[in-house]
Chains A and B, each alone.
Chain A
Amino acid sequence: MVKISELLEQHGKPSREVYLDNENSGWVPPEVVEAMLPYFNQKGYGHPSITNLPGWEAYEVVESTLELVKKTLNIRSGELVLTHSGTEANNLAILGTALAANKGKRRKIVVSAIEHMSVLFPARTLEERGFKFVTVPVDKEGFVNPEILSMLVDNETLLVSIQMVNHEIGTIQDLKTLVKVVKDVDSEIIFHTDAVDAYGRLKIDVEDLGVDMLTLSSHKIHGPKGVGVLYVREGLKISPILYGALSTQKMWPGVENVPAIAGFGKAVELAFRDFEGNVEKMKNLRDMLIDGILETVPDTLLNGPRGEKRAPDNVNVSFLHVEGESITIELSLRGIYVSSGSACTSRVLEPSHVILAIGRKHEEAHGSILFKISRYNSREDIEYVLSQIPLAIERLREISPLAKQSKRSIDEKEVYA
């Protein structure tokens, strides 16, 4: 049995650390932790549904957090359902819609090919329960084409789910147009969007977008893990997917994770305190990282679009001839924490479906690395990362037979040309 403690000792604590794995989970700033602490043992440690002082205090923070979130999304009516995760909120949106539809004539569920697993898997599960599951292809940058989407929906379509920002390659969909073309075909089709990677990075106005449901997650905006939110438009009927003791949430039973909700509220406040400034900062760091990598490391491919249609925090690059898990470990040893779309890191030996769906080859997907920048990163962080990446990739290409084989075949071509 391997002792992880010994592995940690062998790894060592790097003298300089830069966290760029904010896609998988985020670093939680001290203000957020401080906002949570009282709710463990000073106030609001009770059950938010119970009529006593700790209960009222808990209810107060749940309500004020939801009020704040509503403001940031320009929600004028409708409901926000608190869950224990973004995954749970996405499941509620999809399975809850299907349960409410019961035996109606609408049986088709349409999702894009690059959705998060927490949308793809529940949607696909419904196929075994008599629903039709249709996947919308995306183009080479990950965009859903509105015309193609409109051709794939009809008056038997129950639900369309397309994310606002792709979690791996940062593609920002033209969601307003996508909602419009779907509603033009049939206004009763329900439109859900997973906005987990858009919240805090893009301006979101649910009334303007016209979506029926929208998902958020706390730990993607430097809040604690354990809080998800589903917005449900006024009048939309969905069924709960969990049953139990009544809570302050109509669609979700059990005891709310009050300290985490308090932390989430603080994280929302911080994300929107200087929204424009935060976004500008992320964009600058993003472009600095993209340009720096592409200029200094040969044989690299940028995955996803450039410019205004790319999420401000997303950098995704395929490094050819090296394997992604090796890159994540090599960078980890240098104190830089990232993740990979390689099969080896997925543990199911399948590379990222997002990278394949934009037309990349398997070997290109294996070498893909996702860097997700946050407003807590500095220029010095990115400078450090840019100083290390060429060295890291060069060392791994030194080990890899493919880099040299590819180089040799190019040299040979030159000789024989």
Chain B
Amino acid sequence: MIKEYFIDLTEKKPGCTENPVVRLSQLLSRVEEGNAVLKVVSDEREIPLKVLEKLAEKRGLKMILLERDDTKITVVYFKDT
């Protein structure tokens, strides 16, 4: 079963493990394992699209831009099998 993950990088949390970038790394590993897709919302002024693309490239994942609303972008990561 493919799980769908979602993470909003613009939401800042108090604890350090709840830091969305910590979660992002954790969840990209789940996508790499091949049983999950990950949707990510980011503010381009903080984490730009090219960074999200680079992360996909580094991990051998596919990433597509789903939506752009001003500086807010939504992308999805998946494993191309």
Contact count band on A: 20 to 34
- In the assembled complex, the CB of B10 is this many whole angstroms from the nearest CB of chain A, namely 12
- In the assembled complex, the CB of A352 is this many whole angstroms from the nearest CB of chain B, namely 8
Q: Is the CB of A132 within 8 A of B51?
A: no
Chain B CB within 8 A of A138 CB: yes
- In the assembled complex, the CB of B17 is this many whole angstroms from the nearest CB of chain A, namely 5
A contact residues around B17 at 8 Å (CB): 350-353, 356
A184-192, A263-271, A290-298, A358-366: which lies at the interface: A358-366
A135→B47 CA distance, assembly (Å) = 9
Choice from A132, A135, A151, A361 contacting B21 with Cβ under 8 Å: A135
**Which parts of A115-132 form the interface with B (CB within 8 Å)?**
117, 120-121, 124, 127, 132
Q: Is the CB of B19 within 8 A of A113?
A: yes
Q: Is the CB of A138 within 8 A of B46?
A: no
A contact residues around B48 at 8 Å (CB): 151-152
Most chain-A Cβ atoms within 10 A of its Cβ — which of B22, B23, B47, B58? B22
Chain B CB within 8 A of A357 CB: yes
Q: Is the CB of B26 within 8 A of A357?
A: yes
Chain A CB within 8 A of B1 CB: no
Choice from B18, B29, B50 contacting A359 with Cβ under 8 Å: B29
A139-147, A238-246, A368-376: which lies at the interface: A139-147
Q: Is the CB of A357 within 8 A of B47?
A: no
Chain A CB within 8 A of B16 CB: yes
- In the assembled complex, the CB of B49 is this many whole angstroms from the nearest CB of chain A, namely 9
Interface of chain A: mostly helix, strand, loop or mixed: mixed
Mask: chain B, 1-38; 1 = CB below 8 Å from A; 0 = not: 00000000000100111111111111011001000000
A124→B21 CA distance, assembly (Å) = 13
A120→B21 CA distance, assembly (Å) = 13
A117→B17 CA distance, assembly (Å) = 11
Tally the A-B contacts, defined by beta carbons under 8 Å.
Answer: 69
Q: Is the CB of B21 within 8 A of A113?
A: yes
Q: Is the CB of B15 within 8 A of A350?
A: yes
Chain A CB within 8 A of B75 CB: no
Q: Is the CB of A356 within 8 A of B22?
A: yes
Assess A359 versus B25: contact at CB under 8 Å? Given A151-B48, A152-B47, A348-B15: yes
A355→B16 CA distance, assembly (Å) = 12
B contact residues around A145 at 8 Å (CB): 54, 58
Q: Is the CB of A357 within 8 A of B58?
A: no
Residue of B nearest to A365 (CB): B17
- In the assembled complex, the CB of B14 is this many whole angstroms from the nearest CB of chain A, namely 9
Q: Is the CB of B21 within 8 A of A152?
A: no
Assess A358 versus B25: contact at CB under 8 Å? Given A350-B15, A350-B17: yes
Q: Is the CB of B22 within 8 A of A147?
A: no
Most chain-A Cβ atoms within 10 A of its Cβ — which of B20, B21, B29, B55? B21
Q: Is the CB of A147 within 8 A of B54?
A: yes
A359→B5 CA distance, assembly (Å) = 14
Choice from B16, B25, B54 contacting A350 with Cβ under 8 Å: B16
Chain B CB within 8 A of A148 CB: yes
Q: Is the CB of A357 within 8 A of B22?
A: yes
Mask: chain A, 29-60; 1 = CB below 8 Å from B; 0 = not: 00000000000000000000000000000000
Q: Is the CB of A359 within 8 A of B51?
A: no
B contact residues around A151 at 8 Å (CB): 48, 50-51, 54
Most chain-A Cβ atoms within 10 A of its Cβ — which of B25, B32, B50, B55? B25
A359→B22 CA distance, assembly (Å) = 8
Given A139-B58, A145-B54, 15 more pairs with CB closer than 8 A: A113-B19, A120-B16, A124-B12, A127-B12, A132-B46, A137-B25, A139-B25, A147-B54, A148-B51, A148-B54, A353-B16, A357-B22, A358-B25, A359-B29, A360-B29
Smallest CB-CB A-B distances: 9 pairs? A359-B29, A135-B21, A353-B16, A357-B22, A353-B17, A350-B17, A151-B51, A113-B21, A357-B25
Offer 30 A-B interface pairs, CB within 8 angstroms, sorted by A: A113-B22, A113-B25, A120-B16, A124-B12, A127-B12, A134-B47, A135-B22, A136-B21, A137-B24, A137-B25, A137-B55, A138-B25, A139-B25, A140-B29, A145-B54, A148-B51, A151-B51, A151-B54, A152-B51, A350-B17, A350-B18, A351-B17, A353-B19, A353-B22, A356-B26, A357-B22, A358-B25, A359-B25, A360-B26, A360-B29
